[in-house]
Amino acid sequence: MRKLSAVILLTTTILFVSCKKGGDSPGDNNQCVSMSTIKATPSSATIEKGQTISFQSPTVNLVTYKWQTPAGTVIRTAEGNVSNIDFTNEGWYYLEARNNCNETKQDSFYLDVTMPQGTASCSPGDNAIDFTAPNHQASHFTTVRQGETGVVNDYRLEASGGTNDFTILFHPSYKNNKQPENGVYTTGPYNQFGNGIYGPTDYDRVYVIDITYIPTTIYYKSIPNQKVYITRVNGKMKATICNMSFTGSSSGTPYATEITSAVIEN
């Protein structure tokens, strides 16, 4: 008797499910969600330091979002914001969107951060300087100029003439060496060697120095956290300070005064 062997053939069917491009039904996982509406949109392309910027892209189901800010922050929602803006937040904001088929779309916008604006509380005469300290003579500047002094990235507004030399020092690499903008600047601190301390993007930080020759030669420096108002008059840079506190010394003798002045280049 012959033995019969039965061979059972098992047939396995493997089903591959793939996404279809251009689907119009966001809820259908078998469709590739369209990203045609994805766009990076800011609340403003220009903003003052200290304000808040918000940005968004239309929200689409099955799409993930990734924002990269100039300060290095990553935001993974369709909407985002950055409060208390400073100059580290100036630059490109990049958006990458990815749908359920792993397709990506990118968009971006550039944010320009400007100086805070304000108006000086005093109105001194052009190129005049006045002191509260006794025996200090009010004076009038005859020469005022702005620009670099020959020192690399050393930008300043200088006034001289009469009985004073007056200087405002701006950030050594002010916004890629542009001319300082109109706005409200703030005096900064000094290090142990008497030099101004600038952070990499402290573009609104300034230092004010005055040398007065009456009643003696006194070297004055501004105290931190005081306001300098920069404006333009017929294209000429003008700086105004109101009762700004200074400390100084002469041959080891300490001095202190407040100075009010408005200097405009000529």
Residue-wise pLDDT for 160-198, tens only, equals: 998 999 999 998 877 666 788 999 999 999 998 888 998
Q: Is the pTM of this model over 0.95?
A: no
Express each pLDDT in 103-116 by its tens digit.
999 999 999 999 99
As a whole number of angstroms, the distance between CA 30 and CA 10 comes to 29
Residue 185 tokens read as 């600047």
Contact 117, 48 (CB under 8 A): yes
Task: Name the residue with tokens 């600047």.
Answer: 185
| Of the candidates 44, 17, 156, 63, the residue with the CA atom closest to the CA atom of residue 111 | 44
Report pLDDT for 176.
Answer: 65
CB-based contact 168:206 (threshold 8 Å): yes
Q: Which domains does the chain have, with CATH numbers?
A: 33-114 (2.60.40.10), 128-264 (no CATH)
